Amino acid sequence: MAEELVLERCDLELEANGRDHHTIDLCQQRLVVRRGQPFRLTLHFEGRNYEASVDSLTFSAVTGPAPSKEAGTKARFPLSEAVEEGAWTASVVDQQDRALSLQLSSPAHAPIGLYRLSLEVSTGYQGSSFVLGHFTLLFNSWCPADAVYLDSDDERREYVLTQQGFIYQGSAKFIQSIPWNFGQFEDGILDICLMLLDVNPKFLKNGGRDCSRRGNPVYVGRVVSRMVNCNDDQGVLYGRWDNNYRDGVSPMFWIGSVDILRRWKNYGCQNVKYGQCWVFAAVACTVLRCLGIPTRVVTNYNSAHDQNSNLLIEYFRNEFGEIQGNKSEMIWNFHCWVESWMTRPDLQPGYEGWQAIDPTPQEKSEGTYCCGPVPVRAIKQGDLSTKYDAPFVFAEVNADVVDWIQQKDGSMHKSINRSLVVGLKISTKRVGRDEREDITHNYKYPEGSPEEREAFRKANHLNKLADKEESGVAMRIRVGQSMAMGSDFDVFAHITNNTTEDLTCRLLLCARTVSYNGVLGPECGTKDLLNLSLEAHSEKSIPLRILYEKYCDCLTESNLIKVRGLLVEQAANSYLLAERDIYLENPEIKIRVLGEPKQNRKLVAEVSLRNPLTMALEGCTFTVEGAGLTEEQKTVEIPHPVEGGQEAKVRVDLLPLHVGRHKLVVNFQSDKLKSVKGFRNVIIGPP
């Protein structure tokens, strides 16, 4: 009778599997593999090796708190030569001395998460079992049978593997790119992402069912959308928009997701203060990329927040054009969400591909603050019955705006406002390049096209289908070339009279600071011309001077000023409104890299910024981070004030751990100049 087969050890082949599964950064001390793709392991036996004629090997892989075969969270499978599609399999690759090299494969629809792998050995009547180890299974966009399969290698590299990127802010007329360190493969982040899934209310209610559904990226995307905000649960970020962030961190301060996710874990899953839309979206992007779902952050300019799904945002203004009353339905200067790539077997064909997921807590969906995933193509078609939350996302990019002006006698007059179009310049980072890509065409047909009208008909968007009133007088707000933070500058109301009559009008110009979500601050410039004469077929440009001393104390960290012009033609009782959001440019952060950038060799970054103001900056700090360049965020304070026109300069030590292209991301803070961002690409060579 053959002697018992005894396992000495199991080698999980971390390096080879990490390379094959694009998880090398995660496979330093553990096995992380992608589903639907074979991975290697080697069994080392004591005494003798495996003999197919006498030994029987059976493996088991289990995940979740209540593993079951029916739920897909428990699999038992024998060592076999037959490779079965869509099932867990194990087969022999090589056999030498007392070592048995095996190839194991998981189904492309298996639930993701942490698995325990064990082995049962039976020889005749003898049997024993061994725990081979644990591994983490991720979604696999390299596997054609996986629901998140992407057929472009460049896109997979960008949307799954790239650990840094840009988020677009500013205004539609001045798009500002903010560098961001996603850091999805940084130390401890995968564990935090799995913990995020394990504290979600659906897991706490029924852990076995929740884990069984983790094979579906639609389900996982929806859970992540819910868990990045903390409105209903132990989610990551607390949203705040009132410019009062003293008991936390200003949303504009963050430069990456890693610090936020680590704080959440270290606080014992208590929320991190504070987030706004791009922070929610960036953290969701980190989590989804880490789990293997291709994801990108997108920004929509002039984004509507439509609470009652009537696709209409109505502003009620007094005779001076000022908005009256507390307004919860707003047009945000910009709003960020994420798109994730997946199939939608739960929907009609054609709705696979990019799905919008919005983790910013705005409206409840099925009782909780989450939004999506909804196919971007369904938004374009105006198909609002599509799961999940199509009406809200459709309104974000398509709502109509109506301005009502209330006169002294209480009567309401509709104003013509040509300057505000909802859903402009929808932006994301271009694949493989530090540039913006405009993806508006994915959400909307060309304006005025028959396809656009058909989408509006399908969405029952009656307001957009109505003919617009035409006016012989037009007005728009124009600006100079560049408006730098700290400068005084002019803006202009440019008025065109295309009628055959001379007109006398009243022009009210007003500039106010504004938060990115449309909430107005104090005035920083006004002009009221009671009798402005406009000759027939003529143009006029009326300047409004905006002074730094007027805006310096009330500008929010968004650096935005809203300029509004109201042209009133009393004789015809007509009102013409024009608005423009102005972004004030921050000074440039300069970054020099000193030394030869090589793996595991100390490197120094010299970071500097010139004070653009005439007065001194106090409390100056530079904060830097970058996946593969720093293990954690580093902050350097400047102990003395930096006088007007002078340079703030510090040096930061870096220790690059990984070869390749990385981004060093920088934030500068001071008392009068806040949340200034900069970055530098650094290519690290082998040692």
Handedness of CA 17, 23, 26, 28 (dihedral sign): positive
> In this structure, are strands 424-429 and 295-305 parallel, antiparallel, or unpaired?
antiparallel
**In the annotation, is 335 catalytic?**
yes
Burial environment of residue 99 by CB neighbours within 10 A (0 to 12, 13 to 18, 19 or more): middle
- Which residues on adjacent β-strands are paired with residue 39? 104
CA distance linking residue 573 with residue 486, whole number of Å: 40
Give φ, ψ of 511 to 5 degrees: -115, 135
- Which residues on adjacent β-strands are paired with residue 475? 495
Q: Report, in angstroms and rounded to the nearest whole number, the Rg of the chain calculated over CA atoms.
A: 29
- Which residues on adjacent β-strands are paired with residue 133? 117
Give me the numbers of helices (H) and strands (E) for the chain, helices first please. 14, 36
Structure token pair of residue 104: 């194991």
Catalytic residue among 259, 358, 389, 403: 358
Catalytic residue among 22, 305, 335, 662: 335
C-alpha distances in angstroms, 21 versus 16, 31, 105, 651? Answer: 9, 10, 12, 37
DSSP three-state, residue 661: strand
- Cβ contacts of 208 within 8 Å, gap of 6 or more: 64, 65, 66, 67, 68, 71, 73
CA distance linking residue 357 with residue 297, whole number of Å: 10
Q: Where are the alpha helices (DSSP H) in 213-357?
A: 217-227, 258-266, 277-291
Catalytic residue among 211, 230, 277, 524: 277
- Which residues on adjacent β-strands are paired with residue 32? 136
Q: Which helix H or strand E contains 179, and what residues bound it?
A: strand 174-181
- Cβ contacts of 193 within 8 Å, gap of 6 or more: 184, 261, 286, 287, 290, 291
Q: At what angle do helices 189-198 and 258-266 cross, to 10 degrees?
A: 60
Pick from 267, 287, 271, 337: nearest CA to 182: 287
Query: Three-state SS string across 598-649, please?
Result: ECCCCEEEEEEEECCCCCCECCCEEEEECCCCCCCCEEEECCCCECCCCEEE
What letters, b where the CB count within 10 A reaches 16 and e where it falls short, cover 296-314? bbbbbbbbbbbeeebbbbe
Cis link prior to 388 (omega < 30° from 0)?
Answer: yes
Torsion of CA 209, 211, 214, 218, to 10 degrees: 40
Q: Which helix H or strand E contains 548, and what residues bound it?
A: helix 548-551
Structure token pair of residue 209: 């069912």
Q: Which helix H or strand E contains 680, and what residues bound it?
A: strand 676-684
* Residues 566 and 577: beta-carbon distance below 8 Å: yes
CA distance linking residue 158 with residue 160, whole number of Å: 6
Q: What is the largest CA-CA distance in the chain?
A: 113
Instruction: Supply the residues annotated as catalytic.
Output: 277, 335, 358
